[in-house]
Structure 1
């Protein structure tokens, strides 16, 4: 399972030149003797270093567990038929 996850992370590298070819992916999936390169840091990583995020109170789910959340400017559109 971890091997498949690492291969998947290699396939989504930010720099296209660092991504494996499909032939390499097939070889990595079919042969356990092929060593896998270490994927670099993901292009999109949710973390904050701003002080205003630190001042917010943590969110809890319905079971009382802490939930990680982020603020964004995404809108949700609901489509309705005529």
Structure 2
């Protein structure tokens, strides 16, 4: 069974390092090890304020838009959980 965790927007930036990510000076998400800027499934760079969901097992930013979150969850292989 999968466990879900809700984080308030105010705490998100301080929680991201636990997932191996950090926020740049211009508020973009980047991989803490490689410094690579993280993108959503379509390749768009998201800022920390635009994050609506973080995917299971890693930082997979999904924009704060209901249809984007539903699409991301629908595409997920349920057997992964």
TM-score range, shorter chain: under 0.3
| TM, length-normalised to structure 1 | 0.24
Q: Which has the higher strand share?
A: 2
When Rg is computed on C-alpha atoms for both structures, the one with the higher figure is 1
| TM, length-normalised to structure 2 | 0.24
